[in-house]
Amino acid sequence: MPDLAQQIHELGRRARAAAPLLALATTEQKNRSLLAIAEALLAARVEILAANAADVAAAEAAGLSGAMLDRLRLDEPRLTAMAAGVRGVAELPDPVGRTLREWNHANGLRFAKVAVPLGVIGIIYESRPNVTSDAAALCLKAGNVVILRGGSESLRTNTALAAALGRALVQSGLPADAVQLVPMTDREAVKHLCGLSEFIDVIIPRGGRGLVETVMTHARVPVIKHYDGICALYVDVEADLAMAGRILLNAKCQRPGVCNAVETLLVHEAVAAAFLAEAGPALRGRGVQLRCDDAALDLVGGEQAPEVMRAAPEDFRTEFLDLILAVKVVAGLEDAVAHIAANGSHHSDSIVTESTTTGERFLAAVDSATVYWNASTRFTDGSEMGFGAEIGISTDRLHARGPMGLEELTTYKYIGRGTGQVR
Amino acid sequence: MPDLAQQIHELGRRARAAAPLLALATTEQKNRSLLAIAEALLAARVEILAANAADVAAAEAAGLSGAMLDRLRLDEPRLTAMAAGVRGVAELPDPVGRTLREWNHANGLRFAKVAVPLGVIGIIYESRPNVTSDAAALCLKAGNVVILRGGSESLRTNTALAAALGRALVQSGLPADAVQLVPMTDREAVKHLCGLSEFIDVIIPRGGRGLVETVMTHARVPVIKHYDGICALYVDVEADLAMAGRILLNAKCQRPGVCNAVETLLVHEAVAAAFLAEAGPALRGRGVQLRCDDAALDLVGGEQAPEVMRAAPEDFRTEFLDLILAVKVVAGLEDAVAHIAANGSHHSDSIVTESTTTGERFLAAVDSATVYWNASTRFTDGSEMGFGAEIGISTDRLHARGPMGLEELTTYKYIGRGTGQVR
């Protein structure tokens, strides 16, 4: 039995070896494989659901929370949705081979910048099994080989999913090594994976702080982090307060457990009383706990635990992923921008104002992947932004920022076609 | 006296603090600063040349090679050229604020993808002092703050250059912290710099293996490597051999010390005898040493040290940066592509062939930043490719591949302008 480092090395070596075949696969070949994967997921539904039931039972026995169990659980409708998601990727345009730019050197040498696959992508994620098929489908469509490392609690499910994917790949003429699963739950496996600079072109960690920090500490390969969303909404002195209220309720309550939900409300001191008089009760009516700075606490009538609490400084740097909102009164735009710079996570932030000057200044000054003026932060999403599907939301600045769709899963190369040109 | 880690931390903190001012600087402000920098370089010529003379004297005393001394040495014409380079950057279009894409959500929310600065860039390089002004000018034009760490042998020169740059920044209304020099020659300083994930957005190492590997080992921030160019020229069975000879002589001899020079010749077995009969003497006439595999050695008449030697395996994985060429006879296109994949550095590779099919197959199959058909690899250069100027040639795949000009020194953000849209 080879040791863990050797096993991970071998997995990386096989991925690298498969990469040229994927890079040169035609659109038709890749789409045929995607349709075969969708069919294979449905054909293997009995094994997959049985494996998932075993994972769920083990997780229950281990005392996992209800929200965690819900993320882990598969059933017929969810599996059908996964297969439909893979079919949807087959329908998207192929991002590989696009000519991004063409021009000529004065000497006649013709240059083109063309999109090519990234190569071998490692994706490290948590317990949702749908990530396994979504990530595999997106990577495959963009001509990449993928190494998947899901959460340990979903290993049985992911093993069954990967077996179905592997069968479909082979049936459709692509190498089974194009999609590989790390079969060890040991966190050491992640460390070894992060060190495979010889074989892996990029690692995408999607998950909580512990996971992302493990990857950052051990990475010898480039990383695109999919980290937390500490998103703020700033209600300006010139805001339409009714609009601000609708946006706040949507951004906080429509789906509080996602990274583009608002966690922080910043409200201009001149409208704070009026705005909180309406928004406070509305939020509390939806079950939102308010964690207020001193000024906001006065305006909402002081602490009324558990619905209204005094905020601790770390509440403004926390991704609650829950019906909790940190509330702060600010002196104006500059104060709001400075708060976001110091406490936000550069994910999605929004201003509500009727002033074009103030709106545009916020859009320019806030350094986040997506910045809104008079709209909910909940639009930071590959599907809402028209990318068709996404592998996640990058909180990094290099290569890809915000939702990563198929185009962001490619890089480029330059091609020079000449007739003997020399310098 | 604070310790090294604290000093580097403070330098990073000041760089981060200056970043928003640079990001929001107008094109006019940035160009005014660039022109002031050009003037300041010329105004400080006495101090700069004196500092450089001291660096050169110390390097001579330390026994540095002639090529190294030549890279380090400044004189009036070189300093004038540096100032002209900075003025040239002022004339290039501003890469910041470009609208890369605009579209509407069905609900009327208007999305735009706009170019923004990367933020704080660390550049770690070797002894050429012109990199100091070139890198500062390019980073400034793209709205970035830059931390420069040149080779220890050029510290006096770089300190004098940085003083002139700082004066020009302040005079023209931008913060002096926008361009900072790491004033310590200790390699420990590089390690600390690579760990400043709180303050630095990307580190660009330009240099030899030791430098790049130190950065890779210690980096906790994203890195874009500017590494070696092990570039190959493949002469196909259907090549115009006269064209192949011209391209080979150009790519090997026109400037052998640069990363886009050819280091490896691959020649199809069916034309190897004819090609080497012409190219061999021509190369040797230019002083090129040939390191041949067995088949090539037979064709050129065996070893005739020092001009013709038997190649060791590592000769095919070496960036000679000198008048040395590794020569190998291959069975055909697939063999050439496999050799390049196994031994090359994904920088620049070229095929000479009259066959469109073979040429296009090479362009598709070779996974390098720039791939040529019937042209010299020497065109991989920001100026030759029309980028105006470059910070270097990326050998990485993410964010920027090949020559990095002003556009590659930016990232993007999404802006959503709405009228109250919610999900």
Structural domains of chain B, with CATH: 4-227+399-417 (3.40.605.10), 231-383 (3.40.309.10)
Instruction: List the single residue in B250, B363, B399 with the smallest CB-CB distance to A423.
Output: B250
- Work out the average pLDDT over B348-357: 98
Cross-chain residue pair A246–B422, CB shorter than 8 Å: yes
Greatest distance between any 2 Cα atoms in chain B? 80
What are the C-alpha distances in Å from B322 to residues A387, B254, B262? 48, 11, 10
Q: Is the Cβ–Cβ distance between B170 and B34 less than 8 Å?
A: no
Q: What is the reported pLDDT for B193?
A: 95
Name the DSSP class of B312: P
Q: What is the reported pLDDT for A65?
A: 86
Number of other residues whose CB lies within 10 A of the CB of residue B240: 17
Give dist(CA B363, CA A116) in Å, integer: 12
Cross-chain residue pair A201–B414, CB shorter than 8 Å: no
Q: What is the reported pLDDT for A47?
A: 98
Shortest Cα–Cα distance, A200 to chain B (Å) = 11
Shortest Cα–Cα distance, A422 to chain B (Å) = 5
Q: What rounded mean pLDDT belongs to chain B?
A: 96
Compute the radius of gyration of chain B from its Cα atoms.
Answer: 24
Give dist(CA B292, CA B241) in Å, integer: 19
Q: What is the reported pLDDT for A351?
A: 98
Cross-chain residue pair B375–A417, CB shorter than 8 Å: yes
For residue A211, name the pLDDT band (cuts at 50, 70, 90).
confident
> B371 to chain A: nearest residue by CA?
A415
pLDDT for A125 beyond 70: yes
For residue A127, name the pLDDT band (cuts at 50, 70, 90).
confident
Q: What is the reported pLDDT for B83?
A: 97
Q: Which residues of B touch A222 (CB under 8 A)?
A: 222-223, 396-398
Give dist(CA B409, CA B403) in Å, integer: 11
Q: Which residues of B touch A251 (CB under 8 A)?
A: 422
| Residue B38 backbone dihedrals phi, psi, to 5 degrees | -60, -45
Give dist(CA A254, CA A357) in Å, integer: 30
Shortest Cα–Cα distance, B119 to chain A (Å) = 9
Cross-chain residue pair B401–A422, CB shorter than 8 Å: no
Q: What is the reported pLDDT for A344?
A: 96
**Residue B266, strand partner residues:** B234, B328
- Summarised one tens digit per residue, pLDDT across range A161-208 is 999 999 999 999 999 999 999 998 888 899 999 999 999 999 999 988
Q: Which residues of A touch B369 (CB under 8 A)?
A: 413-414
Q: Which residues of B touch A223 (CB under 8 A)?
A: 222
> B116 to chain A: nearest residue by CA?
A367
Nearest to B72 by CA among B149, B126, B134, B136: B126
Instruction: List the single residue in A24, A119, A197 with the smallest CB-CB distance to B365.
Output: A24
Q: What is the reported pLDDT for A208?
A: 80
Q: What is the reported pLDDT for A249?
A: 98
What are the C-alpha distances in Å from A79 to residues A92, A134, A352, B364, B416? 21, 12, 40, 37, 34
For residue B305, name the pLDDT band (cuts at 50, 70, 90).
confident
For residue A353, name the pLDDT band (cuts at 50, 70, 90).
very high
Nearest to A95 by CA among A31, A162, A166: A31
**Residue B223, strand partner residues:** B203
Q: What is the reported pLDDT for B182?
A: 95
- The position carrying tokens 């990386």 is A12
Cross-chain residue pair A401–B385, CB shorter than 8 Å: no
Give dist(CA B403, CA A314) in Å, integer: 43
B410 contact partners, CB below 8 Å, separation of at least 6 = B95, B96, B98, B115, B116, B117, B118, B142, B143
Greatest distance between any 2 Cα atoms in chain A? 80
Q: Which residues of A touch B396 (CB under 8 A)?
A: 222
- Work out the average pLDDT over B362-375: 98
pLDDT for A1 beyond 60: no
B4: enclosing H helix or E strand? helix B4-23
- Work out the average pLDDT over A87-94: 97
- Summarised one tens digit per residue, pLDDT across range B177-197 is 999 999 988 888 999 999 999
pLDDT for B1 beyond 70: no
Q: What is the reported pLDDT for B203?
A: 97
For residue A267, name the pLDDT band (cuts at 50, 70, 90).
very high
Cross-chain residue pair B220–A223, CB shorter than 8 Å: no
pLDDT for B2 beyond 80: no
Instruction: List the single residue in A103, A365, A414 with the smallest CB-CB distance to B370.
Output: A414
- Summarised one tens digit per residue, pLDDT across range B123-135 is 999 888 999 999 9
B244 contact partners, CB below 8 Å, separation of at least 6 = B233, B235, B275, B279, B352
Shortest Cα–Cα distance, A372 to chain B (Å) = 5
Q: What is the reported pLDDT for B38?
A: 98
Instruction: List the single residue in A220, A385, A399 with the smallest CB-CB distance to B399.
Output: A399
Q: Which residues of B touch A250 (CB under 8 A)?
A: 422-423
Q: Is the Cβ–Cβ distance between B393 and B228 less than 8 Å?
A: no
Cross-chain residue pair A369–B414, CB shorter than 8 Å: yes
Give dist(CA B303, CA B248) in Å, integer: 21
Q: What is the reported pLDDT for A67?
A: 82
Q: Which residues of A touch B231 (CB under 8 A)?
A: none
Cross-chain residue pair A423–B369, CB shorter than 8 Å: no
- Work out the average pLDDT over B73-90: 97
**Residue A348, strand partner residues:** A370
Q: In a mutagenesis test of the A interface, which of B384, B394, B419 is the best target, namely the one with the most A β-carbons within 10 Å?
A: B384
Pairing of strands B402-404, B392-394: antiparallel
- Work out the average pLDDT over B9-17: 97
- Summarised one tens digit per residue, pLDDT across range B323-335 is 999 999 999 999 9
Nearest to B414 by CA among A371, A4, A85: A371
Instruction: List the single residue in B240, B249, B415 with the smallest CB-CB distance to A371.
Output: B415
Cross-chain residue pair A202–B24, CB shorter than 8 Å: no
Q: What is the reported pLDDT for B390?
A: 92
- Summarised one tens digit per residue, pLDDT across range A212-257 is 888 988 899 999 998 899 999 999 999 999 999 999 999 999 999 8
Q: What is the reported pLDDT for B325?
A: 98
ipTM over 0.90: yes
Q: Which residues of A touch B412 (CB under 8 A)?
A: 401
Give dist(CA B48, CA B12) in Å, integer: 26
Q: How many CB pairs under 8 A join A and B?
A: 201
Q: Which residues of A touch B416 (CB under 8 A)?
A: 370-373, 375, 379
Instruction: List the single residue in A105, A109, A397 with the smallest CB-CB distance to B118.
Output: A397
A195 contact partners, CB below 8 Å, separation of at least 6 = A218, A219, A220, A221
> B373 to chain A: nearest residue by CA?
A417
Shortest Cα–Cα distance, B241 to chain A (Å) = 11
Q: Which residues of B touch A243 (CB under 8 A)?
A: 420
Pairing of strands B410-421, B110-117: antiparallel
- Summarised one tens digit per residue, pLDDT across range A26-41 is 999 999 999 999 999 9
Q: Is the Cβ–Cβ distance between B93 and B115 less than 8 Å?
A: no
> B218 to chain A: nearest residue by CA?
A220
Cross-chain residue pair A418–B374, CB shorter than 8 Å: yes
In angstroms, how far is the first alpha carbon of chain B from the final one? 56
Q: Which residues of B touch A422 (CB under 8 A)?
A: 246-247, 249-251, 254, 375-376, 378
Q: Which residues of A touch B254 (CB under 8 A)?
A: 422-423
Cross-chain residue pair A398–B202, CB shorter than 8 Å: yes
Give the range with max mean pLDDT: A184-188, A207-211, B369-373: B369-373
